[in-house]
Chains A and B, each alone.
Chain A
């Protein structure tokens, strides 16, 4: 579902709204989101030495703001959208908003 498809989104949503990662996780819980225009909240930390490959891609998405352009529960289903979008947004990324843990390691009983 494209984020600018207003037929299935809350009326209050701004399709081009820049959000923090926490805000993205709140709006799209346990989903894959395609984000563009990723920007770090703070400048790169001066304590990081020798950043020859230092760009936004090295900054955790949790420390960035971005614009959500699509989202969905199934990552593979987003592939066609990613292929289309990356022509205009080559720095886009796809990230899961839920808990990151191998399911095999989850406790069956507390």
Chain B
């Protein structure tokens, strides 16, 4: 019975082994820290696989979170997932990381008609998306100041960090979710649904949502203007 390896580093380093037929979580581990992806990820995968006698080439595939999330950590997971896929010759499926938070909302007793999930985008902003009661994405992902979000219930760590700004904007941050970050087990849950529905998840391009910080320095603009007119 093949399993999926699931990896998400859009928040913390998070790994899981998932039964491909039943969707059951065989084992999962998430780092308590948000800045140790490079150091921990490979060791987590090694331990997860060894503990369950899992051979890489026998995996059904790798499910990887493509963000949005802080860029450096996000890349650590993506380059690892692509490398595993290359070496083991198994497919790599990209899943938007906010889906992991939405899956968690679907486990609540009462699910709102429409809701927002939000993660921390730093710089006083959140990564966010809206979902309907069935857990289907209705808008996003976006990156924006918390104060600009629509007046809906908000779940996820972003809701806790920007609770005040969200309330002022008329949104309803949900305290039970203030510790929720993207976890690979929930990410895989969404991925398996998409695969079962026949969706193509072969795109593993990172969802940066922001341009690289690069700005053309003023003196270069002058130089380019000179060249252009010359």
Q: Do A and B bind? A: no
Chain A residues within 8 Å of B, Cβ to Cβ: none
